[in-house]
Chains A and B, each alone.
Chain A
Amino acid sequence: MTDLATNVSQPPAAGAAGRSLWATALMRLRRNKAAMASLVILLVYIFAGIFGPMLAPHDYARVYPDFVKVPASLEPYPRMDAVLPAAESTARRARLEARNIELDGNTLRLEATSRREIDPRVTRYFDRSDLFSNTHIVERSADGRSVLLESQVERYRFIFGTDANGRDLFARILISIRISLMIGALATGVALVIGVAYGATAGFLGGRIDNMMMRVVDILYALPFTFFAILLVVFFGRNVVLMFIAVGAVEWLDMARIVRGQTISLRRREFVQAAEALGVSAGGILRRHIIPNTLGPVIIYMTLLIPKVILLESFLSFLGLGVQEPLTSLGVLISEGARNMRAAPYMLLYPSLALTLLLFALNFLGDGLRDALDPKDR
């Protein structure tokens, strides 16, 4: 084995510029199809999170009272055969008697009569419904008791259906993705900063200080995590941003352990001793030798922490502790879906799918990064 190892580790050298370990890792990552596919999916998610809510045909908070819990479909709503009955019932609400209703493309013509003189403002009854817009009176009889109304039929697509309040599920999923990604990045960032600083300090100083610092970590580990999360909600109220800074402040424990372990093992390495023999200061050793070499595991852990945090947010939202209406998150959508799963299973399926796919992509990417940065597993 030793023979081979030395043989392989020296690829024929060409050119003056070297290939750093980072460049090699990137090359390995490119060859990993699952990781690259995950990267594409993740980019789509990021795009959807940033621009999706702007581009979506519906606002995530807009309520369509006429389209509550309509199933997911590529066909636009209202269905053709639903327009005439809807027009009739709207006319009835406006105290009109519909005589003759015609549908010509998206234009509705309605002849109506009434026993009393018809107020021109009847059109509002139509416009108030989600189905019709731009209603106007084309003809009005001399006595004002019969009118010919013309109205545009509004057609909407709800490709993922609508929720129990008549809001477009697709738009709500898009805004959830934005929230989830934002929270994932935020909390992970906080965990990263605290964990790396704490772990590196403990590992680098060592001795009694290290012992004490790690004792604190052990005690925090023994406290149930949900307890913390719930307390944080209680403290910060439903302020999502603050809360997730706080969640990040809880999630740093693992990061601190990893960085400490790395730092301790790096301190024993000969290149750190060599730097000490050169008289390099503690700061220089940390900056040039320890931190660049802990970066690999930290990046790996970070990609795996993001899905963890997203999952946590969804979990808290599922318990009803997360974001507040009208904002929403995947966890809220799933919990609503679970409540309505008998009548409207798509309300459970699509958010679940969206969350699962996102977590999948992040996990695969994390695994791919691990294989690329730390190839001994292959």
Chain B
Amino acid sequence: MLGYVVRRLLGAIPTLFLVVTASFFLMRVAPGGPFDRERALEAKVLENLNRVFHLDKPLWEQYLRYLGNLARGDLGPSFIYRDFSVQELLASGLPISMQLGGLALLVALVFGCVLGCIAALRQNSWVDYGVVAVATFGITVPNFVVAPLLSLVFGVWLAMLPAGGWGGGSPANLVLPVITLALPQIAIVARLIRGSMIEALRSDHVRTARAYGLPARMIVIVHALRAACLPVVSYLGPAAAALLTGSVVVETIFGLPGIGRYFVQGALNRDYTLVMGTVIIIAVFVVVFNLIVDLLYALLDPRVRYD
């Protein structure tokens, strides 16, 4: 298994390389530069800045320089947050985004699985219709609607929870952002589990288990749920990668210092290094979680082999 993991990680290097290259050049061919302000800088100042950040060099040289630095683990300085390097920004923001995303993921898994199972076991009952309606609601209502509404209702009108802010990561400040992040995931997980569970409950081998008088609880948990989890596992790979790398909407509305915002701000301000840094982080997460998914899958399903 270790060999497999190593092989997979090595196999991801070309993909990452392509992602880095593609985003590097895409960023650079976009019009505008990091020092464009509403009021243009003096030519002299601009020239100096460009020289300091090597922006006056030919593009391929900048690219090679970036790759060289990257190989040494140096993501370079940020252009808009002048006093910080990209590493520092990511190091301070990533734990916050991961904390929020991780909690949301956990909430989504627990609630999604429970709701999905209940709906599947009571298929075509009111409980089932209720869960399906709630799930459709969760998938439909966008997070930039949910976030301000939650903030309005619980933060402003009821004044039960802080309407925003990180507050040093105190639990009260986490509640609303985590709910916002988890809601659509709960809905998707519940729907996936419901669908695959219904299919599993109808499968021949569950019929066998019933024909052999196994208790209902054992049939559901041992024989149906494990098979029903498989599609959720494959969904959760990319979903977890996206959740853990921060959400620009949630971080903006609740005023949280995660890395989700860096990405949008960086791209809008042509902060090349910051954008590259976040792109690399996201791509690494995607690769790692795809690997985790495949390992989990092989663990759950003996028909799948590592090779």
Contacts and interface: CB of A to CB of B under 8 A. Distances in A.
Interface residues of B, number: 41
Contacts of B137: 360
B152 A222 contact: no
B53 interface: no
Contacts of B156: 341-342
Contacts, number: 96
Contacts of B144: 314-315, 318, 331, 334-335, 338
A341 B31 CA distance: 35
A345 B26 CA distance: 40
Contacts of B15: 218-219, 222
Contact of B140 (A224, A314, A348, A363): A363
Given A223-B22, A224-B263, A227-B279, A356 B136 contact: no
A53 B147 CA distance: 29
Contacts of B151: 341
A230 B26 contact: no
B198 interface: yes
B89 interface: no
A359 interface: yes
B264 interface: yes
B139 interface: yes
B249 A227 contact: no
B32 interface: yes
Nearest to A360: B140
A160 interface: no
Interface stretch (B38-46, B80-88, B221-229, B281-289): B281-289
Given A223-B279, A226-B263, A377-B195, A356 B141 contact: yes
Interface of B: 15-16, 18-19, 22-23, 26-27, 30-32, 136-137, 139-142, 144-145, 147-149, 151-152, 156, 195, 198, 248-249, 253, 263-264, 267-268, 275, 278-279, 282-283, 286-287
Given A318-B249, A337-B148, 18 more contacts: A219-B15, A219-B18, A222-B15, A222-B16, A223-B22, A223-B23, A227-B279, A231-B26, A231-B267, A234-B32, A311-B142, A315-B142, A321-B268, A335-B144, A338-B144, A348-B149, A352-B141, A360-B140
Q: Can you list the 10 inter-chain pairs with the closest CB atoms, starting with the nearest?
A: A338-B148, A230-B267, A359-B140, A234-B30, A352-B145, A318-B144, A224-B282, A341-B152, A360-B140, A356-B141
Interface of A: 218-219, 221-224, 226-227, 230-231, 234-235, 307, 311, 314-315, 318-319, 321, 331, 334-335, 337-338, 341-342, 345, 348, 352, 355-356, 359-360, 363-364, 367, 377
